[in-house]
């Protein structure tokens, strides 16, 4: 499969290919990179005779491709898994609350209170984790759509005026891994950036 991808990259750069074919080849290669087929950075060869005329079409096609990938992740299996976990935690909290409403001896009551406290902390952490992922995907989507100024709150990701496709791809992959890993610090990224913002300091890029 990697050999086929490599062959496609070579073909995409040959001058005899039409602009439409070259654009399609690059789009296909980015699509296959999202599928994990290869780790290369597809692009139009600068010496392609129609590179300038094809650049605009390629940008539009890649914006659509990347936006579709972001949409898939936003409603993907990993997000569904964490939402299911969140609902399960909420159900447990409701169950403990029901037991607390019944007569209990002091020892049992304390155990239930401690359990509810732990479950509530887990609920908040999962909610924040999902919120961080959604915020990052919204930033990327806004950049792809040219609506960066419409992102509400602190922007967890910042972009320049042009489209750096490899950087965008790496950011999408990184945010997905962070959601999968479930590290606690990831859930508090916006809080950290908000504090930096309130202190009138410039937030670091790609925190």
- Owner of token pair 């913002």: 197
pLDDT given at position 161: 86
Handedness of CA 8, 9, 14, 19 (dihedral sign): positive
Domain count, the chain: 2
pLDDT given at position 119: 98
Do 201 and 110 have their domain in common?
A: yes
- Pairwise CA distance, residues 93 & 155, whole Å: 32
Domain boundary, last residue among 14, 49, 74: 74
∠ Cα 34 40 42 (to 5°) = 80
DSSP string, 173-193: HHHHHHHHHT-HHHHTHHHHH
pLDDT given at position 176: 94
- Pairwise CA distance, residues 145 & 11, whole Å: 30
Do 1 and 50 have their domain in common?
A: yes
pLDDT given at position 3: 41
Domain boundary, last residue among 18, 49, 74: 74
Domain boundary, last residue among 15, 43, 74: 74
Do 81 and 103 have their domain in common?
A: yes
pLDDT given at position 14: 45
Do 24 and 111 have their domain in common?
A: no
Do 107 and 150 have their domain in common?
A: yes
Do 59 and 88 have their domain in common?
A: no
Do 67 and 80 have their domain in common?
A: no
pLDDT given at position 1: 46
- Pairwise CA distance, residues 154 & 78, whole Å: 24
pLDDT given at position 160: 86
Which residue range(s) make up the domain with 68? 1-74
Do 102 and 160 have their domain in common?
A: yes
Do 101 and 121 have their domain in common?
A: yes
Do 24 and 92 have their domain in common?
A: no
- Size (the chain), residues: 207
- Pairwise CA distance, residues 152 & 155, whole Å: 8
Do 11 and 51 have their domain in common?
A: yes
pLDDT mean by block of 10 residues, the chain; 207 residues: 44 60 93 94 74 84 97 96 97 96 92 97 94 92 83 76 94 93 76 68 52
């Amino acid at each position: 499969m990697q050999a086929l991808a490599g062959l496609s990259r070579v073909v995409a750069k040959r001058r005899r290919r039409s602009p439409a074919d070259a654009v399609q080849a690059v789009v296909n290669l980015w699509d296959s990179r999202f599928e994990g087929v290869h780790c290369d950075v597809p692009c139009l060869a600068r010496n392609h005779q129609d590179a300038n005329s094809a650049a605009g079409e390629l940008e539009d096609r890649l914006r659509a491709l990347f936006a579709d990938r972001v949409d898939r992740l936003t409603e993907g299996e990993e997000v569904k898994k964490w939402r299911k976990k969140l609902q399960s935690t909420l159900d447990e909290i409701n169950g403990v609350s029901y037991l607390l409403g019944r007569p209990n001896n002091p020892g049992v009551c304390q155990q239930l209170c401690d359990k509810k406290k732990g479950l509530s902390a887990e609920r908040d952490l999962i909610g924040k984790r999902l919120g961080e992922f959604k915020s990052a995907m919204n930033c990327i989507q806004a950049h792809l759509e040219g609506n960066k100024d419409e992102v509400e709150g602190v922007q967890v990701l910042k972009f320049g005026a042009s489209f750096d496709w490899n950087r965008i791809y790496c950011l999408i992959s990184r945010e997905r891994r962070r959601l999968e890993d479930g590290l606690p610090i990831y859930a508090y990224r916006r809080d950290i950036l908000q504090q930096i913002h309130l202190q009138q300091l410039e937030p670091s890029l790609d925190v």
